[in-house]
Every structure is written in structure tokens, then in C-alpha cells.
Amino acid sequence: MSLTQVGRTIDLNTGASIPIVGMYPFTTAKTQTSYVVSWLVQALKNGYRHIDTAVLYQTETAVGKAIRESGIPRDELFVTTKLPYSNHYGKVRESLEQSLQKLGLDYVDLYLIHWPQSVVYEDDDVFYPKNSDGSLKVTDSPNFHDAYAEMEKLFKEGKAKAIGVSNFSIKTLEELLTTAKVIPAVNQVELHPYLQQPELIEYCTIKGIIVAAYTPSGYSVVRNDPVIGELAKKYAVTPNQVILGWHIARDTVIISKSENDQRQKENIMLPKLNADDVAKIDGLDRGERVCNKPGHDGLMWGWTMERLGW
């Protein structure tokens, strides 16, 4: 079976285009910035032109250094970052300015609200303020309406070429759209063969919102599915390539991660699945989250599944 290097883009409702495959530089606080820079430069050399970072990932500085070291012109890159829920607290403009300073950029191509929840702001370095019982300190005011209204101002000023959301459901999108003046360009959510979210995709499509998938492979839970394994043999590719090829067939933006040179190359050299094989993978949906799941208290970052609309 022939493979195709995925370099195509999807049009946003702003008129701009987003590369359909992005690189996600998540790391731990203990990871050396120099190491993150090295594999990001490698990814850019391998053909990636879309980098999706966030304040919570603590990799904005590394992303900026990698962009400069790569020598790739800024206008050939698409850079996303995200507003952390601690900075809904009247700090939206300041948060983006800090992100731009770390990135060494004048603007980002896409700025997302990372989570619909707002938490109490304590300090710039405190991302997860806790109550005495260990639960997250969530607050009802300010809320995502307030944060998004500030993001709309930054969009008009050109500091963010597009704005959107992440981890929003139909419920929270409908709430947001009662006050939003700018329709979100993107909604980034967990999406893979075991969690296909067809109703959310249909809703976003009607509203002109592009859906981007994080955890696109579903980890080994999905990669080890027998159907995926059969198709990997049929197309002579890895299970991961099969799943990413399925996303491409559905016009879903993919936010993937690999620090490994060979896997980076594999993740943008994908098979074109035929309609029957896409349908086989469509049949695997079971509404199962493998990345962000509620804890023993039934809460996901301080909110119930009902409040999230999940």
C-alpha cells in the first residue's frame, strides 16, 4: 500500500488555514528544556508545521527556541497556545503576553481556552490550587464567558489570529455562544476510535467550528484493538498510522506527540483508508475516555461530568 505525506490544511472560519497534523510538546517539569528543543527541531525538520503548546505544558520557551533554531520562516508555521484555567481570573491579556514573550513571537495563530473550568488564581506558578481536602479550587466568577470576551479583544488586535476552546461539549459551547461575538475557530477534545463524539462533531460542523483531536491514537488501549491490528497488516503500517489515517479520512485535525525521529516521520506518512475500512473503525466507538477521566470523587478538574456536558 502506498503512503502519503500529510501536508494538507483545513480552512478555519477566519479564512486562515490550519495544518491537519500538529505536534504536541507536552512534558514534565523535570524535563530539560534543551531536550524538548532538540526533538521539536527534529519534528520541524521532518515536516511538521503546526505546534500545539500551552501554559500548562510548560514548553512555550522550548517551542520558541526550536522555531528559531529550525530557521523556518514564521509565516510557514502555525502555533497554538492555551489559556490556563487559573488565568481566567482577569489575567487573559497578561497570560497571552507572557506566552508570546516565552515563545518569542508577536502573535499566535490560535489561542484556546484550555478548560471551561475557572480556578482561583493564587500565583503565576500555581496551576492547580487546592482546597484543604485536596480538591481543586474552582470558582464561578470569573467564568469562561468573561475569559472569552477578553480573548475576542486580543483576536481583534491581531495578537491571536484565531481563538477557540478546548474540552468543550455541546452543553458548554451552547452556553458560550449565548455571549460570544466571535464563533470559536477550533474545539480541541479527546477523540479516537473508542471516543468518536459524533454528536459533538456534527454540532461543531454546523457552527463552523473545526474539531481537533488530542490523544488521537487512544494510547495502547485502542492501538491493541484486533480491528486496528488487522488493518495495520492490510496496509503494512503501524496501528498508530492506521488510526491517524482514519482521522485524516474524517477531516479531523490531529494533535499527536512523538519524541522519536522514526515515529515522527511515520505519523505524517499515512495510508489512505478505503471507505469500508473507515467504517470498520467507526464501529469501534464505545464512548470511552482514556486520557481525561473523572477521579474517585466523580470530578474532572473540579467539575462533575454533568457540568462539563460529558
Amino acid at 245: G
Residue 99 cell numbers, joined:
506566552
In Å, what is the CA distance from 227 to each residue of 46, 54, 122, 223?
A: 29, 34, 48, 9
Which residues are known catalytic residues?
Answer: 57
CA 76 to chain centre: 19
Amino acid at 179: T
Work out whether strand 9-11 and strand 17-19 pair parallel, antiparallel, or are unpaired: antiparallel
Q: Report the alpha-carbon angle 11-213-97, nearest 5.
A: 75
Please check whether residue 264 is in contact with residue 257, taking contact to mean a CB–CB distance below 8 angstroms: no
Please check whether residue 103 is in contact with residue 81, taking contact to mean a CB–CB distance below 8 angstroms: yes
Sign of dihedral through CA atoms 120, 123, 128, 129?
Answer: negative
CA 191/CA 210 separation, integer angstroms:
13
Residue 23 cell numbers, joined:
505536534
Question: How many Cβ atoms are within 10 Å of 88's Cβ, its own excluded?
Answer: 29
Question: How many Cβ atoms are within 10 Å of 139's Cβ, its own excluded?
Answer: 16
User: Residue 19, SS3?
Assistant: strand
CA 190/CA 166 separation, integer angstroms:
9
Of 62, 96, 69, whose CA–CA distance to 82 is shortest? 96
